[in-house]
Amino acid sequence: MSLYRQTAGKYWLRRRSNSIIRDVITASFFLGSTILVSGMFVYLFSIIYSMPWLETKKVVIRGINELTEQEVMDVAQVKKGVNILAVNTREIERRVKMIPWVKEVHVGREYPSRIVIDIKERVAVAMLKRGEDIYLLDKEANPFKKLSTRDDVDLPILTGFSGDGSLRSQLLAKALALIDYLKSNPGAASLESISEIHGDERLGLTLFTTTGMCLVLGFNDYEAKLKNVPLVLADLERKNMRTAFLRIDLSDPVKVTVQPRQVPAPQKSRSPEGEVKI
């Protein structure tokens, strides 16, 4: 019985040794194959990266209106001559997205040698006064950029909306909806004639026109109230009354009131000799 066990043990050790050797050979083969394939990929990539026809030769910028190509290029910092595969498109997107006018941006490659920057700009619909500063406002009520002398815009300015509170937010949303309505419904108060929209928690919205009129609209039914303006002005014309510099209160559709609008006179200054100058 002891001799049988010794013989069986020898055969088991021999089989185990053969199995270990096969496993080592198999693992070495796969490891060598992996190293060989990886080396081939590295070699191929080094060849591709050195190909002159894959160098970045042109940057195409699409979708810009407010921005210039140079402004985008200065921020994107795409270096010409760099292999197109080495260009970090996500980093370019991150940098371009920091431009206030940019709402969305996508950077892609057009082989063999072009980088394309597709931009969707924000659309300014109004200006918002906050303290002493004025910001451009998009239709989502985002003040995305402080107004500068380089911004060539002709938009109504919104005042009285800089405080906190849900009512002010609601009034701001109504003011933007009113601006959108005025774009497609010109009349006595067309968007081009509106210089200011003021929000007030007691009076609602008030429009100021470039002709000097003040239209108090209240909190609702703005479209219907504005349609009454031509009727009111026509009635004033028939009565030979002045139609400029008026305050027309349309907040109550049943009772429209009209009164002269008090416009501040030009300030007077005095010279050192006491002479009045206007």
160: left (phi over 0), alpha (psi -120 to 50) or beta: left
pTM: 0.71
Closest by CA to 73, choosing from 119, 41, 40, is: 119
Mean pLDDT of 29-41: 60
Look up residue 210 and give its two tokens: 């470039």
pLDDT level of residue 21 (50, 70, 90 thresholds): low
pLDDT, tens only, 47-105 = 555 556 678 899 999 999 999 999 999 999 998 888 888 899 999 999 999 999 999 99
**DSSP per-residue letters across 165-178:** SHHHHHHHHHHHHH
pLDDT level of residue 46 (50, 70, 90 thresholds): low
Q: What mean pLDDT is reported for the chain? A: 80
Pick the CATH number of 53-121 from 3.30.420.40, 3.10.20.310, 3.40.50.2000, 1.10.20.10: 3.10.20.310
Helix (H, G, I), strand (E, B) or coil at 125: strand
Helix (H, G, I), strand (E, B) or coil at 55: strand
What backbone torsions phi and psi does residue 33 show, to the nearest 5 degrees?
Answer: -65, -40
Residues contacting residue 151 through CB under 8 Å, at least 6 positions apart: 136, 145
pLDDT, tens only, 210-258 = 888 899 999 999 888 888 888 888 888 888 777 678 889 998 888 888 8
Taking the domain 124-260, which CATH number applies? 3.40.50.11690
Per-residue pLDDT, 271:
45
pLDDT level of residue 138 (50, 70, 90 thresholds): very high
Per-residue pLDDT, 192:
78
Mean pLDDT of 150-169: 85
User: d(Cα 211, Cα 248) in Å, to the nearest integer?
Assistant: 13
Contact status, residue 146 vs residue 91, Cβ threshold 8 Å: no
The residue ranking higher by pLDDT, 177 or 41, is: 177
Mean pLDDT of 180-198: 80
Residues contacting residue 248 through CB under 8 Å, at least 6 positions apart: 213, 214, 215, 216, 229, 232, 256, 257, 258
Tell me which residue has tokens 């013989």: 7
Mean pLDDT of 117-126: 96
Helix (H, G, I), strand (E, B) or coil at 64: coil
Start-end of H helices in the chain: 2-49, 69-76, 89-97, 166-184, 222-226, 229-238
